[in-house]
Amino acid sequence: MRKFAVIAVIAGCLPTFAWGPEGHSLVARIADAQLTPAARARVAAILGPDTTMASISSWADEVRRSRANTAPWHYIDIPIDKPHLDMARDCPKGDCVIAKIEDFRKALNDAAIAPAERREDLMFLIHFIGDMHQPLHCSDNKDKGGNDVHVEFFGRRTNLHSVWDSGLLGRMGTEDQLFGPLSTESARRARKWSKGTVEDWAEQAHKAAQKMVYGRLPKVAAGAPVPIDAAYEKRADPLIRQQIEKAGARLAVVLNATLR
Ligand code: ADE
Ligand code: ZN
Ligand code: ZN
């Protein structure tokens, strides 16, 4: 019993990662349904037997601790008080999520790369296009993308980042309940959403963080936990649905264009 309590306390102090496994799996399943036959065949050949895009969509989070150099690859800290992304300012070392998406996209067609490495490159790409659609993975308020913001979320003490990774999504229904409607809506609007560059998509996520994630946050006394209530949730849920729909459509567009 004591051991569990200690583990729970340690786990509560660690920063949280990305969309939880449910969010990444939804993005991968939505994208899979929008792949061309050619892209689907190449994905299957790269990933190998008994492996789907959904089944490896959270692998990058599983290796994040053992491969410390990959930790910054999951996000880009665009300051919340700046109007635009500036790669020189926000990604000076080229190790942020936006630079890595481009690196791994190019690697998929690089004949010099060995199959095992290409498999990892595809697993990273699938995960990172999901991550960059979580608004707090494209934003920072000098709070590690909301990891340092204490909140009270329906009776539970947690942090703002975790609420946006998985807390809100977890209250929206099961993965199987969400998949049908999100996949249909994603396919319906895919053409419109696939316009623009990966940098444009990051700016959209950043704008959503400005307007909704931080913009609608109740004001509280310094140090007090911020209450995330039903009114906040009601505005947040449509944004989360749309970010997952966009991520799925855009992952498909990137793979369809790259794996011909
Ligand atoms: N660590 C620092 N900034 C972060 C962000 N925006 N998202 C996730 N982890 C972070
Ligand atoms: Zn996260
Ligand atoms: Zn991640």
- Predicted confidence (pLDDT) per residue in 175-193, tens digit: 999 999 999 999 999 999 9
Q: Which residue has the tokens 């993975």?
A: 137
End-to-end CA distance of the chain: 54
Closest alpha carbon to 258 in 129, 69, 86: 129
Q: Which is higher by pLDDT, 13 or 77? A: 77
Question: So what's the pLDDT on residue 19?
Answer: 80
In order of 11, 68, 71, 224, the CA distances from 238 in angstroms are 29, 34, 29, 27
Eight-state DSSP code of residue 163: I
- Residue 58 CA to ligand 3 center (angstroms) comes to 7
Nearest CA to ligand 1 atom 1: 144
Residue 213 near ligand 1, beta carbon < 6 Å: no
Mean pLDDT of 158-172: 98
pLDDT in tens, 195-239: 999 999 999 999 999 999 999 999 999 889 999 999 999 999 999
Residue 75 near ligand 1, beta carbon < 6 Å: yes
CATH no. for 6-235+250-258: 1.10.575.10
pLDDT at 17 over 90: no
pLDDT in tens, 118-153: 999 999 999 999 999 999 999 999 999 999 999 999
Closest alpha carbon to 28 in 57, 63, 3: 57
Domain ranges in the chain? Answer: 6-235+250-258
Token pair recorded at residue 83: 């109007």
Question: So what's the pLDDT on residue 223?
Answer: 86
Burial class (CB in 10 A: 0-12, 13-18, 19+), 233: middle
- Residue 48 CA to ligand 3 center (angstroms) comes to 22
pTM: 0.93
Question: So what's the pLDDT on residue 18?
Answer: 67
Neighbours of 56 (CB within 10 A): 22
Mean pLDDT of 152-177: 97
Determine the distance from the C-alpha atom of residue 7 to the mean position of all C-alpha atoms in its chain, rounded to a whole number: 26
- Residue 230 CA to ligand 1 center (angstroms) comes to 25
pLDDT in tens, 71-81: 999 999 999 99
- Residue 61 CA to ligand 2 center (angstroms) comes to 9
| Cα–Cα distance for residue pair 237/96, rounded to 1 Å | 26
Determine the distance from the C-alpha atom of residue 42 to the mean position of all C-alpha atoms in its chain, rounded to a whole number: 23
Q: Which residue has the tokens 């490896």?
A: 56
Residue 145 near ligand 1, beta carbon < 6 Å: yes
